Structure 1
């Protein structure tokens, strides 16, 4: 087990970096031109990033980044983000 001691500023920076990376992955997952195999790998990366994000972000922030799946839609359109668009 590893541990990190972070200041409040470093926690905010970590949250910001993880959010940006997760947002970028979510944007790319909506692109129909990307192969399904690549999207599957992107989902795996997203899961790892989200696991890290849960450790540094409050639960309210985490809820915005939980992946949901829609039934009855094509695989390329299944992933949605519960985050409001800015």
Structure 2
């Protein structure tokens, strides 16, 4: 396990960057032109980024980006 000390400004910056990346991934996952294999990799990346996001964001913010359970949602 690793630890990380960051100040409030750095925490907000990390939260902002993660939000932008999660939003971009969600938008790309809805694109029907993207290959299934690529979407699977994107879903894995989304899961990792969401885990990081949960560490810095409030519960209210996390609910907005919570991954959907159904595979057919993308």
Q: TM-score, normalised by structure 2?
A: 0.93
Q: Which runs of 5+ in 2 are unaligned?
A: none
1:39 is aligned to 39
Q: Which runs of 5+ in 1 are unaligned?
A: 80-86
In proportion to residue count, which structure has more strand? 1
In proportion to residue count, which structure has more helix? 2
Number of aligned residues: 74
Q: Secondary structure at the match of 2:65?
A: coil
Range 60-69 or range 25-34, more displaced: 60-69
Q: CA RMSD in A?
A: 1.4
1: distance between equivalents of 2:41 and 2:56? 24
Higher relative contact order (CA 8 A, sep 6+): 2
Q: Secondary structure at the match of 1:67?
A: coil
2:23 is aligned to 23
1: distance between equivalents of 2:46 and 2:57? 15
The structural deviation recorded for 1:67 is 1.5
